[in-house]
Copies of this chain bind each other. A is one copy, B any other.
Amino acid sequence: MHNSFLEKIETLCKMRNIKLTTQRKTVLEIMLTANRAMTAYDLLDLLKLKEPQAKPPTIYRALEFLLEQGFIHKVESSNSYIICPHFQDPEHISILFMCDKCKKIIEKHSSDIEVNLKKLASQSDFLIKHSVLELHGLCKLCQS
Which residues of B are found within 8 Å of A121, using beta-carbon distances? 97, 135, 137
**Cross-chain contact A131 with B126 (CB below 8 angstroms):** no
Whether A132 is near chain B, meaning CB under 8 Å from some CB there, is yes
> Would you give the shortest CB distance from A22 to chain B, in whole angstroms?
31
Whether A84 is near chain B, meaning CB under 8 Å from some CB there, is no
Near B by CB (< 8 A), chain A positions 130-144 give: 130-140, 143
Whether A116 is near chain B, meaning CB under 8 Å from some CB there, is yes
Whether A1 is near chain B, meaning CB under 8 Å from some CB there, is no
Which residues of B are found within 8 Å of A133, using beta-carbon distances? 132-134
Which residues of B are found within 8 Å of A125, using beta-carbon distances? 139-140, 143
A residues sitting closer than 8 Å to B (CB atoms) are 76-77, 95, 97, 99-100, 106, 108, 110, 112-113, 116-117, 120-121, 124-140, 143
19 further contact pairs, Cβ within 8 A, besides A76-B76, A106-B124, A132-B134:
A106-B126, A108-B124, A110-B116, A113-B116, A113-B120, A121-B135, A124-B140, A125-B140, A126-B135, A126-B138, A126-B140, A128-B135, A129-B136, A129-B138, A130-B135, A130-B137, A131-B135, A131-B136, A133-B134
